[in-house]
Protein backbone atom coordinates (compact mmCIF):
# COMPACT_ATOMS: atom_id res chain seq x y z
CA UNK A 1 0.00 0.00 0.00
CA UNK A 2 1.07 3.57 -0.59
CA UNK A 3 1.54 5.98 2.29
CA UNK A 4 -1.74 7.66 1.36
CA UNK A 5 -3.58 4.31 1.51
CA UNK A 6 -1.86 3.49 4.82
CA UNK A 7 -3.09 6.79 6.25
CA UNK A 8 -6.65 6.10 5.08
CA UNK A 9 -6.53 2.62 6.62
CA UNK A 10 -5.12 4.09 9.84
CA UNK A 11 -7.87 6.70 9.94
CA UNK A 12 -10.50 3.97 9.48
CA UNK A 13 -9.00 1.99 12.36
CA UNK A 14 -9.02 5.09 14.54
CA UNK A 15 -12.64 5.83 13.62
CA UNK A 16 -13.61 2.42 14.93
CA UNK A 17 -11.30 2.24 17.93
CA UNK A 18 -11.35 5.83 19.22
CA UNK A 19 -14.18 7.59 17.45
CA UNK A 20 -14.10 10.63 15.21
CA UNK A 21 -13.74 13.36 17.81
CA UNK A 22 -11.22 11.53 20.03
CA UNK A 23 -8.79 10.69 17.23
CA UNK A 24 -5.69 12.85 16.94
CA UNK A 25 -3.40 13.25 13.96
CA UNK A 26 -0.73 11.45 15.97
CA UNK A 27 -3.11 8.50 16.50
CA UNK A 28 -3.61 8.20 12.75
CA UNK A 29 0.09 8.52 11.96
CA UNK A 30 0.90 5.84 14.53
CA UNK A 31 -1.82 3.50 13.24
CA UNK A 32 -0.54 4.00 9.69
CA UNK A 33 3.14 3.71 10.57
CA UNK A 34 3.66 7.10 8.94
CA UNK A 35 5.08 10.48 9.85
CA UNK A 36 2.71 13.05 11.30
CA UNK A 37 3.52 15.55 8.53
CA UNK A 38 2.40 13.07 5.88
CA UNK A 39 -1.24 13.71 6.83
CA UNK A 40 -0.94 17.36 5.83
CA UNK A 41 1.00 16.48 2.71
CA UNK A 42 -1.53 13.94 1.42
CA UNK A 43 -4.83 15.30 2.79
CA UNK A 44 -4.31 18.88 3.93
CA UNK A 45 -5.56 18.21 7.45
CA UNK A 46 -6.52 15.51 9.90
CA UNK A 47 -10.18 16.45 9.52
CA UNK A 48 -10.04 16.09 5.74
CA UNK A 49 -8.47 12.64 6.17
CA UNK A 50 -11.05 11.58 8.76
CA UNK A 51 -13.87 12.84 6.54
CA UNK A 52 -12.56 10.87 3.58
CA UNK A 53 -12.16 7.74 5.71
CA UNK A 54 -15.73 8.07 6.99
CA UNK A 55 -17.10 8.66 3.49
CA UNK A 56 -15.19 5.70 2.07
CA UNK A 57 -16.65 3.53 4.80
CA UNK A 58 -20.12 4.80 3.92
CA UNK A 59 -19.54 4.00 0.24
CA UNK A 60 -18.28 0.53 1.07
CA UNK A 61 -21.36 0.02 3.25
CA UNK A 62 -23.53 1.07 0.29
CA UNK A 63 -21.80 -1.47 -1.94
CA UNK A 64 -22.45 -4.18 0.64
CA UNK A 65 -26.15 -3.26 0.74
CA UNK A 66 -26.36 -3.35 -3.05
CA UNK A 67 -24.76 -6.80 -3.20
CA UNK A 68 -27.26 -8.08 -0.64
CA UNK A 69 -30.25 -6.78 -2.59
CA UNK A 70 -28.92 -7.86 -5.98
CA UNK A 71 -28.47 -11.38 -4.62
CA UNK A 72 -32.24 -11.77 -4.46
CA UNK A 73 -33.89 -13.59 -7.33
CA UNK A 74 -37.55 -13.33 -6.30
CA UNK A 75 -39.80 -11.21 -8.49
CA UNK A 76 -42.03 -10.21 -5.55
CA UNK A 77 -40.79 -6.94 -3.95
CA UNK A 78 -41.62 -8.16 -0.43
CA UNK A 79 -39.63 -11.34 -1.04
CA UNK A 80 -36.72 -9.33 -2.48
CA UNK A 81 -36.78 -7.09 0.59
CA UNK A 82 -36.99 -10.11 2.91
CA UNK A 83 -33.98 -11.81 1.32
CA UNK A 84 -31.99 -8.58 1.06
CA UNK A 85 -32.60 -7.72 4.71
CA UNK A 86 -31.78 -11.27 5.76
CA UNK A 87 -28.47 -11.12 3.87
CA UNK A 88 -27.65 -7.63 5.06
CA UNK A 89 -28.48 -8.24 8.72
CA UNK A 90 -26.62 -11.55 8.74
CA UNK A 91 -23.52 -9.79 7.39
CA UNK A 92 -23.44 -7.05 10.03
CA UNK A 93 -21.34 -8.92 12.62
CA UNK A 94 -18.52 -9.59 10.16
CA UNK A 95 -18.61 -5.94 9.01
CA UNK A 96 -18.99 -4.34 12.45
CA UNK A 97 -16.01 -2.02 11.96
CA UNK A 98 -17.42 -0.78 8.66
CA UNK A 99 -20.82 -0.16 10.25
CA UNK A 100 -19.26 1.76 13.15
CA UNK A 101 -17.25 3.96 10.78
CA UNK A 102 -20.35 4.62 8.69
CA UNK A 103 -22.49 5.54 11.68
CA UNK A 104 -19.76 7.95 12.77
CA UNK A 105 -19.94 9.66 9.39
CA UNK A 106 -23.63 10.37 9.99
CA UNK A 107 -22.85 11.78 13.42
CA UNK A 108 -20.17 14.06 12.01
CA UNK A 109 -22.43 15.43 9.24
CA UNK A 110 -23.90 18.10 11.51
CA UNK A 111 -20.46 19.60 12.02
CA UNK A 112 -18.89 19.27 8.59
CA UNK A 113 -20.49 20.62 5.44
CA UNK A 114 -18.41 18.39 3.14
CA UNK A 115 -19.55 15.23 4.92
CA UNK A 116 -23.14 16.47 5.08
CA UNK A 117 -23.19 17.24 1.36
CA UNK A 118 -21.52 13.95 0.43
CA UNK A 119 -23.90 11.93 2.62
CA UNK A 120 -26.92 13.83 1.30
CA UNK A 121 -25.83 13.09 -2.29
CA UNK A 122 -25.17 9.45 -1.43
CA UNK A 123 -28.56 9.23 0.29
CA UNK A 124 -30.37 10.60 -2.76
CA UNK A 125 -28.64 8.07 -4.98
CA UNK A 126 -29.22 5.26 -2.47
CA UNK A 127 -32.96 5.95 -2.40
CA UNK A 128 -33.15 5.55 -6.17
CA UNK A 129 -30.96 2.45 -6.22
CA UNK A 130 -32.73 0.80 -3.28
CA UNK A 131 -36.14 1.34 -4.86
CA UNK A 132 -34.79 -0.08 -8.13
CA UNK A 133 -33.29 -3.10 -6.40
CA UNK A 134 -36.41 -3.90 -4.40
CA UNK A 135 -38.59 -3.56 -7.51
CA UNK A 136 -36.04 -5.40 -9.68
CA UNK A 137 -35.79 -2.51 -12.15
CA UNK A 138 -33.04 -0.33 -13.53
CA UNK A 139 -32.38 2.85 -11.56
CA UNK A 140 -33.29 4.90 -14.64
CA UNK A 141 -36.84 3.54 -14.43
CA UNK A 142 -37.41 4.88 -10.90
CA UNK A 143 -39.35 8.13 -10.70
CA UNK A 144 -38.89 10.72 -7.96
CA UNK A 145 -42.04 9.68 -6.08
CA UNK A 146 -40.89 6.06 -5.88
CA UNK A 147 -37.40 7.07 -4.76
CA UNK A 148 -38.78 9.51 -2.19
CA UNK A 149 -41.29 6.94 -0.93
CA UNK A 150 -40.15 3.35 -1.23
CA UNK A 151 -36.45 4.16 -1.56
CA UNK A 152 -36.47 6.48 1.45
CA UNK A 153 -38.28 3.93 3.63
CA UNK A 154 -35.85 1.13 2.74
CA UNK A 155 -32.88 3.48 3.23
CA UNK A 156 -34.24 4.58 6.61
CA UNK A 157 -34.71 0.98 7.71
CA UNK A 158 -31.16 0.09 6.75
CA UNK A 159 -29.59 3.09 8.48
CA UNK A 160 -31.81 2.63 11.53
CA UNK A 161 -31.00 -1.06 11.80
CA UNK A 162 -27.29 -0.27 11.43
CA UNK A 163 -27.47 2.18 14.33
CA UNK A 164 -29.44 -0.34 16.37
CA UNK A 165 -26.80 -2.97 15.57
CA UNK A 166 -24.04 -0.69 16.89
CA UNK A 167 -25.98 -0.04 20.12
CA UNK A 168 -27.55 -3.44 20.79
CA UNK A 169 -26.51 -6.03 18.21
CA UNK A 170 -28.57 -8.82 19.76
CA UNK A 171 -31.89 -7.00 19.38
CA UNK A 172 -32.07 -6.38 15.64
CA UNK A 173 -34.80 -8.26 13.77
CA UNK A 174 -34.01 -10.68 10.98
CA UNK A 175 -35.13 -10.26 7.36
CA UNK A 176 -38.30 -12.27 7.87
CA UNK A 177 -39.30 -10.12 10.84
CA UNK A 178 -38.67 -6.93 8.85
CA UNK A 179 -40.78 -8.16 5.91
CA UNK A 180 -43.55 -9.33 8.25
CA UNK A 181 -43.59 -5.96 10.01
CA UNK A 182 -43.87 -4.09 6.72
CA UNK A 183 -46.62 -6.38 5.51
CA UNK A 184 -48.45 -5.82 8.78
CA UNK A 185 -48.07 -2.06 8.52
CA UNK A 186 -49.49 -2.22 5.00
CA UNK A 187 -52.53 -4.04 6.35
CA UNK A 188 -51.89 -7.26 4.43
CA UNK A 189 -51.55 -9.48 7.50
Residue 66 pLDDT? 73
* Domain ranges across the chain: 53-185
**What pLDDT shows up at residue 20?**
82
Q: How far apart are CA 100 and CA 104, in angstroms?
A: 6
Q: Is the torsion defined by CA of 61, 64, 68, 69 positive or negative?
A: positive
Fold adopted by 53-185:
Tetracycline Repressor; domain 2 (1.10.357)
Give pLDDT tens digits along the chain (189 positions).
799 999 999 998 998 888 888 899 999 999 999 999 999 999 999 988 988 888 887 778 777 777 766 676 666 888 888 878 888 888 888 888 888 888 888 888 898 888 899 889 989 998 998 899 888 888 999 999 999 999 999 999 999 999 999 999 999 998 888 888 888 888 854
The set of long-range contacts for 86-92, using a CB threshold of 8 Å and a minimum separation of 24, is: 86/174, 86/175, 86/176, 87/175, 88/64, 88/158, 88/161, 88/175, 89/161, 89/165, 89/172, 89/173, 89/174, 89/175, 89/178, 90/174, 90/175, 91/64, 92/162, 92/165, 92/169, 92/172
CA distance 25 to 89: 33
Q: What is the pLDDT of residue 136?
A: 86
The whole-number pLDDT of residue 7 equals 96
Amino acid sequence: MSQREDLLAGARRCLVEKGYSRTTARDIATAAGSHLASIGYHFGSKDALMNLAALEAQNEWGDMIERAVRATAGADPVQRLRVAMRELLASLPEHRELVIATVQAYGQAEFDEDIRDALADAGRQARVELAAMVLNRDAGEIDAATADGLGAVVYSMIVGLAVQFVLTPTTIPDGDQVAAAITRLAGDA
